[in-house]
Amino acid sequence: MDISRNWLAQYVAIDCDIPTLCDKLTMAGIEVEAVESAGTVPAGVVVGRILERKPHPDSDHMSVCRVDVGQGEPIQIVCGAPNCDAGNVVPVATIGTVFHTPEGDFKIKKSKLRGVESMGMMCSEKELGLSDNHEGLMILDSSLKLGTPVETLFPGDTRIEVEVTPNRPDWLSMWGVARDVSCLLDTPAKLPEITVPECDIPAPGLVTVEAPDLCRRYIGRVIRNVKVGPSPKWLVERLESIGLRSINNVVDVTNFVLMELGQPLHAFDLDKLEGKRVVARRAKPGEEITTLDGKTLTLQERHLVIADAVKPMALAGVMGGEYSGVTEATTDVLLESAVFFPSNIRATSRELGISSDSSYRYERGVDYDMASLASDRAVQLILATAGGELASEKVDVNSGRPAEKVIPCRFDRIRSLIGAEVSNERIADIFRKLHLKVDDVTSGGCTVTAPLFRLDLEREADLAEEVARINGLDRIPEIPVAAKMCGSIREDAYQALQTLRDRVIDLGFYECMHYSMVNVNSALADRRFRREDLIELKNPLSLELAVLRPGLLGEMLGTIERNISRRNLNLRLFEVGKVFCGNAELFPEERFELCMALSGLRQPERYSAELKEEYDFYDLKGALESLFELANVKRYKFVAADDARFRPGRAAEVWIEGKKAGHFGELAADLTRGWRTSYPVFAAQLDVEVIVNADHGRSYYVPFSLFPATSRDVAFVADEKLEHGAILEFIRRSKPADLESVRLFDIFVDDKLKAEHKKSMAYQLTFRNAERTLTDAEVNSRFEKLREKLAKELKVELR
């Protein structure tokens, strides 16, 4: 929305400079986005009279003029304008005048044009920024005193571009902004006096509203014998000051009132209306209309149109029809001022891809009361600019005036909401200056009635916002936030679940989410449960959602099968969720469970032999070990188990601190029968409470060493029954100084070793000191001591 400072000043006295005004508007919620000066004549341009005109000796289109600028001796100026005749009074830019142009600043200097000295420049209207007229010099009134600064004759204007929020359609007009400016500057705001000739000529059938649910009010009146033509200068200047183009006097008046009062209007050529009447109705399916911008639209019943006795003549609230508008041949006008349902206008504008200044306002909501006042204002201006006479009564078809919102206001509550001390009198005064009705004022509060142009005021908090922005947001004191000690984050149940999820995700698993309600078959896929263990819903949405899930495995199986059927074979899935059991002896009624699943290739992104490696039982076991390591669970173990969910010999129980935490293994063949995959599927089901409540101990940060590491390899032949874990435990107990890590990198068995029940194993030992670089001698010494202990105590044969 563009605001003209000069236009705004017609309604409210502005006793501050532009930067101050813009700052106050922004702080009050009317955010200023840009400021542009318009028609400001540069300092140094004065009134001058051409005393003499001679042809230029070296040019056939330039003249040499002697000009009196009221500052002593006349000056010589070379000019190329066709009307630089002697006797004309024109604006003259003297030496030193600076013109500000989009291309940069231009300063008038003493110069020579084709060898003839020139001491200034005589100006056109375009050069002064007053209009686009560049056909010749601007001719001033001959009675003006020579030397008078031209900037005093044309004070110029400032265009202020503001951003209007959707909840404040009342700011989409000069008068709406003036109301707030008057409150901000504490100066009165007043509309021009509106007088309309009395006319009681009846107009039966002039206006019919067949869709009162979409058209709340429609005011129509007839003006006859108008003379359509150019608008007067003041009207053209007002429209141009906010970037609108003048069309003709009647249309310009409707645009002027739109911008002045925020009420869209439309002027119909009465002679183009069949039956000399208008009908506000729903469009007929497939009905067409050509709008003012030349688009032909096919309408549906949901669209509201303004029609004559036969066809649509305007798309209500959006745009007029091409064949109904005012032209130079128009003599009789039907003036429309209406209130339409906002959501219908918004939907129509979006659906048909048409937007206008009218639809922009209608879709946000216009003032019901302003429709009548705007109609009077338009009649007043049309009669003043286009002549004619009012030829009908004001036909006002409406469904009744909406009730105004009455809001109880407590002064203490207002102060509490805005956090600032404002007196009772100041609060009530702000409401009155915003044109709100204030009644029943007491020491404790008052009653505020919001006028129909303030659709955003609904409750006490809205009134507090008005007080805050008018009184000044900068006056709200800074109050330190009082922090209160709450419970530890360790006591937050959700935090523990989210941490567990994050740790499983860290292991490369992707989270699934399923419904808590499942069908019976899915529930019984988890073979720990029987039908009587399930919790059935009394009123299920469908049989597919008939029971609460007793475990996560059933739905996880469905997700795995769905992925496999779409050839997504490499899966690392998990879910953490609540499950429900109707058998208290088996499980608690509600608990959280963790389900993890693996299937497919271990490294599908690799090549050669590595591409053929498939997930196996130990990949899932390793994932669980890594999870427990991340969770700092110290005491856990895996015990071989028989479980109907898993293949015999490929299942294990998980125990944490002496409590059974769950099972994992390769799924039984009948659970995966029919799946189009050749890869085994591995799954784990764990009780979250056992994992979360385990003793996680404390973790301490250990800084990493900034010094280099040194590695040594040790290989030996050992008994085939010697386990890798036993070797790691032996090395740990031996406590070699500066030993950082141990890695098994080779196990070898050939026919000879197999016959001797032996195997060859090779380890890499890495040494590092946190405070200095180890020498080879130190590393070799520690390494040899460990080799000797391995050979002596584990009875291995060093290689």
Distance, in Å, from the CA atom of 471 to the CA atom of 468, rounded to the nearest integer, reads 5
Buried b (16+ CB within 10 A) or exposed e, 729-755: eebeeeeeebbeebeeeeeeeeeeeee
Cα distances (angstroms) measured from residue 269 to each of 169, 250, 332, 340: 29, 11, 6, 21
The reply, when asked if residue 462 is annotated as ligand binding, is yes
Distance, in Å, from the CA atom of 573 to the CA atom of 511, rounded to the nearest integer, reads 6
Residue 257: exposure state from Cβ atoms within 10 A (0-12, 13-18, ≥19): buried
The reply, when asked if residue 465 is annotated as ligand binding, is yes
User: Could you tell me the two tokens for 221?
Assistant: 């009146």
Distance, in Å, from the CA atom of 221 to the CA atom of 523, rounded to the nearest integer, reads 74
CB atoms within 10 A of CB 261: 25
Q: Report the SS3 class of residue 224.
A: strand
- Three-class SS string for 611-669? HHCECCHHHHHHHHHHHHHHCCCCCEEEEECCCCCEEEEEEEEEEECCEEEEEEEEECH
Contacts of 653 (CB under 8 A, 6+ apart): 638, 639, 640, 641, 660, 662, 663
User: Could you tell me the two tokens for 637?
Assistant: 């173990």
Distance, in Å, from the CA atom of 655 to the CA atom of 687, rounded to the nearest integer, reads 10
Written as one letter, the residue type at 427 is: I
Scan for tokens 């071989």, then name that residue: 640
Contacts of 567 (CB under 8 A, 6+ apart): none
Q: Report the SS3 class of residue 73.
A: coil
Is residue 228 within 8 Å of residue 327, measured between CB atoms?
yes
Buried b (16+ CB within 10 A) or exposed e, 331-369: ebbbbbbbbbbbebbbebbeebebebebbbbbbbbbbbb
User: Could you tell me the two tokens for 228?
Assistant: 């359509």
Is residue 84 within 8 Å of residue 53, measured between CB atoms?
yes
List of E strands, 39-182: 45-55, 63-68, 75-79, 89-94, 98-101, 104-107, 111-113, 116-118, 120-122, 157-163
Contacts of 204 (CB under 8 A, 6+ apart): none
User: Could you tell me the two tokens for 50?
Assistant: 């051409």
- Three-class SS string for 309-345? CCCEEEECCCEEECCCCCCCCCCCEEEEEEEECHHHH
The reply, when asked if residue 466 is annotated as ligand binding, is yes
Buried b (16+ CB within 10 A) or exposed e, 290-317: ebbeeeebebeeebbbbbbeebbbbbbb
* H/E run at residue 223: strand 215-224
Q: Report the SS3 class of residue 445.
A: strand
The reply, when asked if residue 526 is annotated as ligand binding, is no
Q: Report the SS3 class of residue 439.
A: strand
Written as one letter, the residue type at 395 is: V
Distance, in Å, from the CA atom of 27 to the CA atom of 221, rounded to the nearest integer, reads 42
Q: How many CA atoms lie within 13 A of 405 on its CB side?
A: 16
Distance, in Å, from the CA atom of 541 to the CA atom of 169, rounded to the nearest integer, reads 45
Classify strands 278-282 and 389-390 as parallel, antiparallel or unpaired.
unpaired
Q: Which residues are annotated as a binding site?
A: 456, 462, 465-466
**Which residues belong to the annotated binding site for Mg(2+)?**
456, 462, 465-466
